[in-house]
Structure 1
Amino acid sequence: MTKGLIVFSLLLFQLVAMAQEDAWVYLIDKENIAQALANPASILSEKAIDRKNRHGIAIDERDVPVNENYISQIKAAPGIAVLAKSKWMNALHVRGSQSDIENLQDNFSFVESIEFADRNKNASKGEEVKQKRKTETVLTAFNYGKALNQIEMINGDQLHLSDYTGTGVTIAVLDGGFPNVNTMAALQRLRDAGNLKGAYDFVNRDDDVYTNTAGNHGTLVLSTMAAYLEGQYVGTAPDASYYLFTTEDGTSENTVEESYWVEAAERADSLGVDVINSSLGYGKTYDNPNYAYSPSDFNGNTTFVSRGANIAFEKGLLIVNSAGNSGNNGVGAPADSPGVLSIGAVDANGNYASFSSVGNSFQPSQKPDVVAQGQNSVVINENDAIGPANGTSFSSPILAGGIACLWQALPNKTNVELMQLIRESASQFENPDNFLGYGIPNLEVALSSALEITGLSNETPIKMFPNPATNELFFSFNKNATFYVDVFDVYGKHVLAFILTDSKFKVNIASLTNGVYFVNLQSSNESRTFKLIKR
């Protein structure tokens, strides 16, 4: 009899568990919006405010937190568990029975709408879901060891030579777990420099991302950017600052992970993060098959996570996301978003990796955007062992680290401008396809393009090239113009002077030591200063 009761209880438990649904509950308003916007320091860090001001990003209602009183009332509702929240969407991710979730809209006037993860249940109700919407002169020459090929492929090593190693740029890594990041020898340099800024596990709701994990994926991803082992391995952004956010639940596949991702992106924005690397993809497979999105839903604006990514993009964050490992089955979310720089994979020779997700006509922009080495990428695991790994999970952070170095060199560029520079620098920009997108980026070319002088004024367009330069520097401008040129080092010391008097002019700069300089051009009616990298 006891055995029968046990079996019956297990069956009953399974039936109850199966009846649980996931949904997003959208709220009608927020409190104290005007007060919060008048005092942005009350809702954002100073770094976040500075970044937004620098790039002309408005601080708006979406930056105001979700009403805590509303959250408390929803939490107290019968049968409801609140798993995540999104200030950008003004929404809560809840779990409960369908009837208990539907009762929320009947019982609380502040609930504007409900969107079930199982969209069949939305259709059955006929609901319309509303969608809320330093420069240095010291050369940095690393011995990259086994990581050499993957950084040389994107010319990230050339940025390092100009001492652009990520200093001052903050990267948030959204991933699974990060075992041993707090103790690994390969990340000792990161920790000693104070560049491990913080961590949070959105799945378990605590700060322990180092042991609350079902795997080591986050550690592997981080290593491609931040690791440093003298003479053995150097990541693509060894001097950047990092936040580590666990948003992936290794025990299940559920839409709540989309909500964790959006929460983490919101946290990153409030902390003043510049770049998000997300080696994650959602929407194709869930434990509950009714939650899965259809192919046409990967249009950059349907999945919850892609809608969150779109807002993050509007907020000025530069999101680098793996295109996915689904081959012809297509890119996942949020890689489908036009506001996300989606990264496919190639092998060590730059050839398409067969597992890399292919773009299609559902995406409103070219996907993938670009590619980096994802087949036989070299990573470091939680035991400090260096070895190969396959996946766009690694091509994404390899490039994300390089982008952080590029942003260090071009601090006044916006996320939009940087993304376009990267696309334009890529190997097949003129003829993109759905396998490699615009191709393999060349970060040195992206930097050079951004530093080119494209015009002192509408009257006297002028171009300086190449930049970076080695022995010779060329100028091209209209005939009959005269410019007096002075070159200063970063300490303000005058190191070179010459006069431009012809339509094309060549200057020998071999005498300059390697580093960063400022070139001031002055005519009778205008003056302007530009940055030059001498190598």
Structure 2
Amino acid sequence: MKNVLCLLSFFICFAVSAQEEAWVYFNAKANEQSYYDAPLTMLSQRALDRRIAQKINIDFKDVPINPSYISEIKKTEGFTVMAKSKWLNAIHLRGDVTAIRSLKTHSFVDKIVFANKSLNLSNKTVKTAKVAVTDKTKNTRVNFAYGVSENQIKMLNGDVLHQQNYTGSGKIIAVLDSGFPGVNTVAPFARIRDANKILGGYNFVAHSTDFYKGGTHGTYVLSSMAGYKENVLVGTAPDASYYLFVTEDDVDENPVEESYWVEAAEKADSLGVDIITTSLGYFKDHTNPAYDYSYSDMSGDATFVSKGANIAFSKGMMVIASGGNEGTTSEPHIGSPADAFSVLAVGAVTSTGVRASFSSIGPSYDGRVKPDVMAQGQSAVLSDEKGNIVTASGTSFSGPIIAGMVACLWQAFPNKTNQEIKDMVIRSSSKYTSPTNEFGYGIPNFSLALGIVFPEIEDFSESVKVYPNPTPNFIRVDFPESFKNGRVLFYSAFGKKVLEQNNIVPIEPISLESLTSGIYFYTLEFNTFSKTGKIIKL
């Protein structure tokens, strides 16, 4: 009997190990123009208002995935569709390698990328923080009794914003984490419950509307922004509104969590969220080591989750990510999405402003300053799922502490773009003129940020030009030199991608000789700007 059990265990293990993770990318979408003509079928009015305020165009990424593609994919046996992303026009599959590879025969499949790089033919360093427990009503003019949470707010001069009634009111923060048990019942969250500040959420891991289940980490994170217990704990954005999304599976470290994260970010965008904060990260320590990333992948846009984070920023949201807790390990660098070009990555300091030894360091692999800023992450004051006021350590908490203050700052400057708000935070920081790999630009001074003045943002939609139009065989693109990593994609009238040109250079000719005469739609993409249009090939 023992031998039979061992044999059975072997086959079960083999079956599990044969399951691989992959992203299948599509090369087109359907009925694109109909969505442009009726944008409320894709986005809420609040989301559209955010785009209009920041002069951001609706584009190809906003259009849903063609459902017929997914239906056709599902006709093949041997895998399960785990998640999907309209932004990246991709689905996440788990299953048999041969079955997944067979999908390349579909004309609408652009490419297949396995999470296990060794399977491609041609990641989590920042674990959910290990929490070490140590043990009013709205005012018209706010003078909070911060109690023991005072230091983590006053270190940032956040109390100055609160005293001027900038407490996050009117801003919406999406929290992407592992679960939020207790938030619907315990006392430190009564203030936001009573004010109807919890707008909703979703559990992408369980495919359930019950986001109060899962790991307790999200409860701790939320309390750093929204918790309120007079004379003990006041969060950095006690009057902001919140969506709570579960994207992290505490049981398994798997690449599908990146896809859940991007799904949640897309949902946040469609709901009109202003700020995404996440204390999750992906680098090493996957359940299957074959899915681990290397430092060279921390280059701003290499991982699925960092691609999603950059797109989220391009839609007008601020994206704030904890830098990671690997500062004392053999691989001390930040993970993703903290490495992403557009993300405000946050490291951790002690109560006295000294870098916490566990805080992951920079730079990103391509040499950019990371982390961007720092906040208290060692012995941060929080609430647990039972309503106890506790202390815990990790960049998991310095990140949302900053996110809450960003909501307050943005409330003070409602007409600023996300890029302007990000620049204000960085420019107010203690090491702005002399950043380091350990400290980034330093600790922000939100009182100073209130006084930073920027010129009105240029209307880049007018300064980016595609010409000549109509054209016999080539086009040129004129755009500001500050724009980086540009590419242009061309689609047929039926939505099929027919041409792509990467690393475009201002005014340098782009050949269209491979295209037949007709009407084509194009999408121009840069780090923080995109533009769509139509061109006629003669």
CA-based RMSD of the aligned residues comes to 1.6
Answer whether contact 2:362 2:370 (CA < 8 A) is retained: yes
> Structure 1, residues 328-365: CA drift from partner, whole Å, max 9, x if none?
62000000012000000000000010000000251452
Aligned to 1:264, the other structure's residue is in SS state: helix
State the partner residue of 2:275: 275
Alpha-carbon distance, 1:452 to partner: 10
| Partner AA of 1:373 in structure 2 | Q
Residue from 203, 208, 211 that aligns with 1:209: 211
Instruction: Give the number of the structure with larger relative contact order, counting CA–CA contacts within 8 Å between residues 6 or more apart.
Output: 2
CA distance in 2 between partners of 1:434 and 1:236 (Å): 26
* Post-superposition CA distance 1:433-466 (Å, at most 9, x none): 011101000011111113899xxxxxxxxxxxxx
Q: Identify which of 431, 435, 438 aligns with 2:434.
A: 431
Whether the 8 Å CA contact 1:338–1:364 is kept in 2: the answer is no
Which residue is 1:228 aligned to?
228
Q: Is 2:83–2:260's contact at 8 Å kept on the other side of the alignment?
A: yes
- Structure 2 distance, partners of 1:72, 1:386, is 49
- What corresponds to 1:315 in structure 2? 315
Among candidates 144, 147, 164, match of residue 145 of structure 1: 147
The 1:66–1:364 alpha-carbon spacing in structure 2 relative to 1, beyond 3 Å, is farther
Query: Following TM superposition, by how much is the alpha carbon of 1:199 offset from its aligned partner in structure 2, in angstroms?
Result: 1.2
User: Which consecutive aligned stretches of 4+ in structure 1 deviate over 4 angstroms post-superposition?
Assistant: none
Offset at residue 23 of structure 1 (A): 0.4
Local SS of the residue matching 1:242? strand
The structure having more radius of gyration, on CA atoms, is: 1
The letter of the residue matching 1:242 is: Y
C-alpha distance after superposition, 1:476-535 (max 9, x if no partner)? xxxxxxxxxxxxxxxxxxxxxxxxxxxxxxxxxxxxxxxxxxxxxxxxxxxxxxxxxxxx
| Equivalent residues of 1:156, 1:444 under 8 A apart | yes
Q: 3-state DSSP class of the match of 2:24?
A: strand
Are 1:442 and 2:445 matched, yes or no? yes
User: In structure 2, what is the Cα distance between the partners aligned to 1:69 and 1:331?
Assistant: 39
CA contact (8 A) 2:339 2:364 kept: no
Code of the aligned partner of 1:288:
N
Q: Which residue of 2 aligns with 1:240?
A: 240
Alignment of 1:506-525 (within 5 A): none
Whole-angstrom CA distance in 2 between matches of 1:384 and 1:361: 38
Equivalent residue pairs, number = 438
> CA offsets per residue over residues 392-427 of structure 1, 9 Å max, x none?
000000010000000001011111111111011001
Equivalent of residue 160 in structure 1, options 154, 159, 162? 162
| 8 Å contact kept, 1:138–1:162 | no
Unaligned 5+ segments in structure 1 are 127-135, 454-535
> 2-side partners of 1:452 and 1:294: how far apart?
40
Task: State which of 390, 395, 401 in structure 2 corresponds to 1:392.
Answer: 395
Map 1:468-483; keep pairs closer than 5 Å: none
SS state at 1:329 partner: coil
User: What secondary structure sits across from 1:284 in the alignment?
Assistant: coil
Q: Provide the rounded CA distance (Å) in 2 between the counterparts of 1:416 and 1:77.
A: 44
Write out aligned runs for 1:66-465 (5 A).
Answer: 66-106=65-105, 108-122=106-120, 125-126=121-122, 138-211=140-213, 213=214, 215-327=215-327, 329-360=332-363, 362-450=365-453
TM-score, length-scaled by structure 1? 0.80
Instruction: Describe the SS at the equivalent of 2:148.
Output: coil
Q: Which amino acid aligns with 2:359?
A: S
Query: Quick one: distance in 2 between partners of 1:416 and 1:284?
Result: 30
Query: Structure 2 CA distance, aligned partners of 1:410 and 1:364?
Result: 31
Q: When the two structures are superposed, what TM-score results if normalisation uses the length of structure 2? A: 0.79
Secondary structure (helix, strand or coil) at the match of 1:71 reads helix
Contact 1:370–1:426 (8 Å) recurs in 2: yes
Gapped regions of structure 2 (runs ≥ 5) = 123-137, 457-538
Where 2:147 maps in the other structure, the secondary structure is coil
Q: CA deviation at 1:186?
A: 0.7
By how many angstroms is 1:26 displaced? 0.2
